[in-house]
Structure 1
């Protein structure tokens, strides 16, 4: 290589170096900002996790403290007073308070509380379904079956989280109405559902046999937990 070529290469290297540092000075802030955003985002994410964890721990401590009080209205008041930072946490506290109201003989108040949760649009559907289901089961001995049946049927619709439990309640209403064949058919359908749990499957088998039916055990799905 000639001295001229070597000189040209050195000049080109210097030009590229100058351009690189000029670009770095001009656009380097983008890289710095990206690093800040990444680090800041990670820190914010950890902060949010810590906040959620702290709220959950506070809710758990509050519920445990409320349950440690004497039974009756005092426990209901304590559960109602537990601070809840989210609609879901509030729903849990209200459903626990409703359970204590029922235990204290205040079933009417418990049903009203559960129905408030069930109709609260700010709460996740799963909590609303649980509250609605519990409110109905508290009334099976006092409310006519014809009144309860449409509401259980709504909860038993395909895709509903408590569909199988609602179907079981409908079968029990059939039994109460003397419709043994209908109850057996419902329990047979529950047995064949892929989402059936082991406990529900066992109950279905026992009721079918007790009603004089023969469980359809062909292609019986493996029950979940």
Structure 2
């Protein structure tokens, strides 16, 4: 056996003894940590399955409430939706609140506005549902509120890049037209009618409104043609006066 081989074997034995000592000292902790990890993973999987079950149940309740509304049983639907708004999971509480606002709008449109506003101002709700609630409130306020009311809810959604900018712009344009603010309504309707990305329904309505505004706006009268001014020194004849005959030149008989 060479010296190198002997030294290598000694080093390996030392490392083995160290590992055994570490195992004896920390073995229980390692086992406990492994158990905690296994239990944690198992608990997470169990919770996810439980949550999926709750979401499936909420989905069933939501569909049931919709069927009751269609069947003309809003009170029964309201009971289910109110329960979902209180104890639902994922996005179902927010969806239930929006559906409750729909039910309220059927009977009294104005009473639905604060319900939509509550969702729009709820920082814990998904942003797309908050924006949808603001749009719904704005459309109601086109008929029941003022231009300022509508703008307060959807002005932030009219900018380029906003997913709901077309509906927001239409709500502002309709409210402006209703308020007699044609200077605000005209360019918004024109923009909606010409934008290739505008949804078909909004584009058609905007085109009709743009035509209505154009038809109701009187055309500008053409400017009167300019009249020639008399040259300097030329006097216009007075009424009934005969223009003076120029005097004959010297040496010529009078006319």
- For normalisation by structure 1, the TM-score amounts to 0.69
Greater Cα shift, 77-86 or 162-171: 77-86
Please say which structure displays the higher CA radius of gyration.
2
Question: What residue ranges of structure 1 are gaps of 5+ in the alignment?
Answer: 214-225
Q: C-alpha separation between the residues in 2 aligned to 1:191 and 1:25?
A: 79
Cα distance in structure 2, aligned partners of 1:29 and 1:119? 52
State the SS of the aligned residue for 1:141: helix
Judged with a 3 Å threshold, the aligned counterparts in structure 2 of structure 1 residues 52 and 158 are, in CA distance, closer, same or farther, namely farther
Q: In structure 2, which of residues 77, 99, 103 is the aligned counterpart of residue 100 of structure 1?
A: 103
Q: State the 1:166 CA deviation.
A: 1.0
Aligned counterpart for 1:129 among listed residues 131, 135, 140 = 131
C-alpha distance in 1, partners of 2:126/2:38? 32
1:118 to 112, 117, 120: 120
Shift of 1:119: 3.3
- Aligned position for 1:20: 19
Q: How many angstroms does 1:93 deviate by?
A: 0.8
| Count of residues in correspondence between the two structures | 207
Equivalent position of 2:243 in the other structure: none
- Whose relative contact order is higher, 1 or 2, with alpha carbons under 8 Å and at least 6 apart? 1
C-alpha contact 2:94 2:129 (8 A) present in aligned 1: yes
**Structure 2 match to 1:77:** 79
Q: How does 1:205-216 map to 2 (within 5 A)?
A: 205-207=203-205, 209-210=207-208, 211-212=210-211
* Cα offset, 1:187, TM superposition: 5.0
RMSD of aligned residue pairs (Cα, Å) = 3.6
In structure 2, relative to structure 1, the CA distance for the partners of 1:49 and 1:9 (3 Å cut) is: closer
